[in-house]
Structure 1
Amino acid sequence: MKNLSWFNKAMFFFNIVLTVLTFLAYILPFLAPKLFPILSVLTLILPFMLILNLLFFIYWGIQMKRQILLSSLVLLMGITFINKFYKFSSTDLPPSDNDFTVMSYNVRLFNLYKWIERDDVPELIANFINDKNPDILCIQEYSEGKIDLRAYKHKYVLMKGDKTLTGQAIFSKFPIVGRGDIVFPNSNNNAVYADIKRGKDTIRVYNMHLQSIKITPDVHELNEDINELSEQKSKKMIKRMSEAFKEQQEQAEIIMNHKKNSKLPEIICGDMNNSAFSFVYRSIRGKLNDAFEEAGSGFGKSYDFKYYPARIDYIFADKKMQVKNFESYPDFVNSDHFPVMARLAFEN
């Protein structure tokens, strides 16, 4: 420190603060949000913190300063997190007769309230689904009667709400031999499941929609630039997100308890409204494969957030299944979410 200029001393101080926050973010996926709900916000910006650590690594490396060791240690420990944020190469194994495809898509009520200033959004979504032709389709924020998916002989749709009916839907080309819903107390969110018979195999497919952390400002704030939010609004937003993290933990626990009663191979799809660095992600994924990590590429962006390539929609597949391909469709902008789809096959 004695040999550092005053500027480098200030830089090293910020480097230390960043290191502490990054280590906290590393630990938080293993700690229940109820214990530290405000700190859980750090898991949302972990990739950004890793990028800052990389910039510090470059900064100290150019000057050949031993302070580079701090950033080196942080980055080495963060290697396991990189695949959750960005994949450098994809997997696309040859198709076979044993393959089947699963799509998950939060359709935002098929643009019921004209968030997108077009009248043909339902038609575009229907055309997209028909073109991709998934064998199993999980839809969140479904609105009955907006599109007609005739390719699917089997479906389970659960609609709830007072003024506006919204729901979860599972469409399948294979027979549904069991179904049900999972209630989240004091919430408009929920999960549904369907036991789907495919040949000799029966698969339990969960379609979940967890509590929103409301990353995007409320409707009356949408025209404000994010940098112009007042301190009071920022505190309000952080508090709102903290409460949502606690609710998500409760909802994840309910899903996990429900899973214990099933011995069927599982697929879990849906809008988790949280990052892959969170406690909720770690809890729900459990020992399942994250289809993006197994076969995706790039950021796997699934939410239309202006400032960040957010991945909050997931397809988790049982270890008995091989993930042969994964795609996200960030160019298909007809909701605030983007569709994600995986091609799966049971291991021989």
Structure 2
Amino acid sequence: MRNLSWFNKGIFLLNVVLAITTLVGYFLPFLAPKLFPVLSVLTLFLPGLLIANIFFLLYWGFQFKRQIWLPIMILLLGITFINKFYKFSPTNEVIEDDDLTLLSYNVRLFNLFNWIPSDDIPETIKEFIDLKDPDIVAIQEFSSNNSLNFKQYPYKYIVSQGNKVKTGQAIFSKYRIIDKGQIKLPNDSNNNVIFVDILYKKDTIRVYGIHLQSFSVSPDIHEMIDEEHSKRVFKRMSEAFAEQQLQSELIRSHMHDVAYPKIICGDMNNSAYSYVYQNIKGELQDAFIVAGKGFGRTFDFDYFPMRIDYIFVDKRLKVKEFNTYNNFYNSDHFPLMTRLSLVDKK
């Protein structure tokens, strides 16, 4: 510190504050949101904190200052968090014709209320699904207020609610569905969880489609910054996280009694650094971490690669591929798709 200029002393002070904030962020995934609801909002911004630490690493590195060890230490401690944020290279697995492919997509009611100024959004989404031709399609914010017909899927399970506008979730499958149901979420939530059991290669696989409580924040970062009542925004977000905790506990409890391989996919409305993520994922694989690449951005949020949609896969299944199609702008979310195979039991 003695050899630093006054300017660099100020910069180092900011670095220390950032380091402490980042360390707090590392512990938050293990703390229930109900205990620290406002603090849990910090998990959404942990990727930004990691980027800021990289900035300080470069800043001190260019000056050959020993203060570089602070960001190095913070980044090393958070190496697993970095892998959740950015995947440097995908896996190279052998692709087989009988692999199981699954696509998950929050379609935002197929643009029912014209959020995107285009009249052909439903048809464009259907064309995309037809092109990718997955074996299973899990759709969140599904709306039956359109004439779309997915004829290539002989089996389906749709749960909708509402009067004039029916909204909910749907799972379409090329494989026979032998059981299905839903987990009704408490507190009159508009969100829900559905599941189907499919027959695949004489094995049964449980597929969950999830859509957890939204924190109802505009994707326009300027609205968040300039909003007159910003405290209400954070209050609303913290309340949503507490609600998600309860929802995640119900899902985890429901999965506990399932003996066969499980796949969980959908819109979790929370980051990979959250208690809710940890609780639902458990011992499952995050398909993005296993076989994805890049930032894996799933939500159209200004200036920030936010990942709040996931595919979690049982370890009895091998994740061969994972893709996020974030150049497909037909919703506020982006579709994600994975390729799986059963692990050899020999």
| Distance in 2 (alpha carbons) for counterparts of 1:277 and 1:27 | 9
TM-score (norm: length of structure 1): 0.95
1:16-35 matches, within 5 Å, as 16-35=16-35
Where does residue 209 of structure 1 map in the other structure?
Answer: 211
Aligned pair partner of 1:276 in 272, 291, 296: 272
The CA deviation at 1:227 is 7.0
2:145, 2:165 within 8 Å by CA — same for their partners in 1? Answer: no
2:140, 2:266 within 8 Å by CA — same for their partners in 1? Answer: yes
What SS is found at the alignment partner of 2:35?
coil
2:193, 2:208 within 8 Å by CA — same for their partners in 1? Answer: yes
2:102, 2:134 within 8 Å by CA — same for their partners in 1? Answer: yes
Unaligned 5+ runs, structure 1:
none
Where does residue 299 of structure 2 map in the other structure?
Answer: 303
| Distance in 2 (alpha carbons) for counterparts of 1:76 and 1:167 | 42
- Greater shift after overlay, 244-253 or 85-94? 85-94
1:228-307 matches, within 5 Å, as 229-230=226-227, 232-307=228-303
| Distance in 2 (alpha carbons) for counterparts of 1:342 and 1:290 | 11
Where does residue 332 of structure 2 map in the other structure?
Answer: 336
What SS is found at the alignment partner of 1:102?
strand
The CA deviation at 1:5 is 2.2
* Residues 209 and 227 (structure 1), Cα distance of their counterparts in 2 relative to 1, 3 Å cut: closer
| Distance in 2 (alpha carbons) for counterparts of 1:162 and 1:95 | 44
Counterpart of 1:139, as a letter, is I
What SS is found at the alignment partner of 2:207?
strand
2:208, 2:264 within 8 Å by CA — same for their partners in 1? Answer: yes
| Distance in 2 (alpha carbons) for counterparts of 1:319 and 1:76 | 27
1:101, 1:136 within 8 Å by CA — same for their partners in 2? Answer: yes
TM-score (norm: length of structure 2): 0.95
1:33, 1:249 within 8 Å by CA — same for their partners in 2? Answer: yes
Where does residue 161 of structure 1 map in the other structure?
Answer: 162
The CA deviation at 1:163 is 4.4
The CA deviation at 1:37 is 1.2
2:296, 2:324 within 8 Å by CA — same for their partners in 1? Answer: yes
Where does residue 171 of structure 2 map in the other structure?
Answer: 170
Where does residue 70 of structure 1 map in the other structure?
Answer: 70
What SS is found at the alignment partner of 2:229?
helix
The CA deviation at 1:9 is 1.8
Aligned pair partner of 1:198 in 190, 197, 200: 200
> C-alpha deviations, 1:258-290, integer Å up to 9, x for none?
111211210001000111111111111111111
The CA deviation at 1:225 is 3.1
> C-alpha deviations, 1:169-197, integer Å up to 9, x for none?
01000111001000111210010000111
Counterpart of 1:156, as a letter, is Y
> C-alpha deviations, 1:126-181, integer Å up to 9, x for none?
11101100101100000115211000000000001244210110100011100100
> C-alpha deviations, 1:5-48, integer Å up to 9, x for none?
22122111111110111001100011111111111111111111
What RMSD over aligned residues (CA atoms) do the two structures have, in Å?
1.5
What SS is found at the alignment partner of 1:67?
helix
Unaligned 5+ runs, structure 2:
none
Aligned residue pairs total 342
2:218, 2:224 within 8 Å by CA — same for their partners in 1? Answer: no
What SS is found at the alignment partner of 2:28?
helix
Runs of at least 4 residues off by over 6 Å: none
